[in-house]
Amino acid sequence: MVPLDRATHRVMIWLGRVGISLLGSRTLAVRGRKSGEWRTNPVNLLVIDGERYLVAPRGHTQWVRNLRVAGGGELRLGRRADAFCAEEVADADKPVVLREYLRRWAWEVGMFFEDVNAKSPESRLLEIAPGFPVFHVTSA
């Protein structure tokens, strides 16, 4: 993690703990697949037409692996914790989600997507889709 990324990460965690959401940010809590302990990460909760999604801009990270095994977790903001179930989105269905995610948060996560942005053609979004896990989130 680069220094600016580390600083942003820490600020996002602190804001979530005190109950302040920056453009939909939450703290993701999911049980570790080996330890069973709660693991937390700041995430951007994307809402498209009333449907909620989590995108992993850093790729197949530990929280992604844990969520695949656990099948759900909690989205926290301040003292509120909303339990959820997660279903991984197929690569063919990711372009609309990735495009909206980049439209909203490219200023924060664009560096992880290299030359891809919200205006990239669908073919390019399909090409990168396997490297960026997306989860459809529903209430538990």
Query: Can you state the percent helix, strand and coil of the chain, rounding each to 5?
Result: 40, 30, 30
In the prediction, which pLDDT does 23 show? Answer: 63
- Please tell me whether residue 52 adopts helix, strand or coil conformation: strand
pLDDT digits (tens, 9 = 90+) for 5-22: 667 767 766 666 666 666
Q: What is the DSSP letter of 111?
A: G
In the prediction, which pLDDT does 16 show? Answer: 64
Alpha carbon 90 to chain centroid distance?
Answer: 15
Predicted model pTM? 0.87
Instruction: Kindly give, in sequence order, each residue whose CB lies less than 8 Å from that of residue 57, ignoring residues fewer than 6 positions away.
Output: 101, 105, 109, 112, 113, 132
